[in-house]
Amino acid sequence: MIAGLGVAYPPAVSQEALWDGFFAGHYREVHAARRIFAHSGVARRHPAVDPVREDISALGTGARMSRYVETALPLGRTAVAAALADAGLAAADIGLLAVATCTGYATPGVDVRLAADLGFAPDVSRLLIGHMGCYAALPALGAVTDYVTARRRPAVLLCVEVTSLHIQPPTRDLSQVVSHALFSDAAAAVVVRPEAPGYAVLDVIAATDPATADQMTWDVTDLGFRMGLSARVPDSLATQLPGLVATLLDRHGLDRTDVAHWAVHPGGPRILDVVQKELDLPPSALAPSRDTLRDHGNCSSPTVLLVLQRIAAAPGEYVVALAFGPGLTLYGALLRA
C-alpha cells in the first residue's frame, strides 16, 4: 500500500521570466524557439540552477555532478521526511530505501547520504535505480512493492531529478529547444507499507519497442547530459499505448470504464493529446496531468507521482498510472484506493 507521499521543489520561476532572462538570448538564432516555449503547456518551473542567475551551459560534467549532490540531497531529504510523516512512520521503521534518478551520479550516492541524514537504521537495505528516465517511478514502485510483500516491512521510494544541471550550449537542434522548454526539478517520495490506508499497488506492466530506441535518448557528454527527443515520439506511443492499457486491465477483469482516475506522465502537450485520443478519455481525465505540467513542468521520474498527489480517489476506485521514456518504453501501474 502507498501509505504516504511527499514532494519538494526548488523555488519557482515563471516560463516567461526564463525566456526573457536567458533562453531568448540562448536561442536567438532559432526562430521557432519562442513559439516552442509559448506552446509548451508550462507556466512555471523549478530550476535548482536558475539560468537567469547562472549560465552553466559550458560547465564540465564533473563539476555538474558535484552540484548534483548539493542540490539533490536537500530536495530528497524534504520529500522523504514529508512522506514518512504522511505515513506516520519514522525513518528507523523502514527496511528498504530505493532512489530513482537519471540526472546525476555520486558514490557514495544520495541514498547513503540520505539514510545517514534522516536516521535510517544502519542495516537498511538500499537500491539505486539509475538512468531509466521519465518512467523510472513505476518500475521502481513495482520493485519496492515486491520487497514489502515478501519481507512484510515498510519501504521508501524517492525519485529526485535536477534537470536544470544539464543546460546545453546554444544549438539549432529543435529537440534541444523542446527539452529546455519542458524540463524542471523536483523530488517525490512514497512510503509503501504491508497494510495501511492508501493505494494498493495491484500490478505493474511494461512495453518496449527497440525499433524506436533512437527517438528518446539521454546521453552523457563532456558538458553534462544531453536529451534527444524526436518529434515521432507521440506517434510511436500511440501504437503501443492502447494494447498496454488493455493488457493491464484485462489481467484484473477490468476495462477503461472501470478506471476512475488517470495519473499520466505529462511528457509534453502532444503526448497528453495522444493519450487522451487513443484511450478515448474525457478532458477531465487528464486535468491533473495538464495542471502538473503547467505548474511544475516535466520533472522526469518524480512527475507521475506529482500527478498522483493531485488525485483524490474515493475508497475502491481504480487509478491507472502511465509513464514513458527512453527505450522507447511505456510503463503502466494499476492502483486501487
Q: Which residues are catalytic?
A: 134
DSSP string, 130-193: ES-GGGTHHHHHHHHHHHHHHH---EEEEEEEEGGGGPPPP-S-HHHHHHHHHB-EEEEEEEE-
Cα–Cα distance for residue pair 319/215, rounded to 1 Å: 28
Coil/strand/helix, residue 242? helix
Residue from 250, 190, 217 nearest 2 by CA? 190
DSSP string, 112-134: HHHHHHHT--TT-EEEEEES-GG
Cα–Cα distance for residue pair 279/259, rounded to 1 Å: 11
Within the chain, how many helices (H) and strands (E) appear?
A: 11, 13
Coil/strand/helix, residue 213? helix
Contact 121, 92 (CB under 8 A): yes
Coil/strand/helix, residue 81? helix
The DSSP H or E segment spanning 98 is strand 96-101
Contact 227, 263 (CB under 8 A): no
Cα–Cα distance for residue pair 137/100, rounded to 1 Å: 7
| CA terminus-to-terminus distance, the chain | 9
Contact 336, 318 (CB under 8 A): yes
Contact 72, 101 (CB under 8 A): yes
Task: List, in order, residues 6 or more apart from 143 with CB less than 8 Å away.
Answer: 98, 127, 129
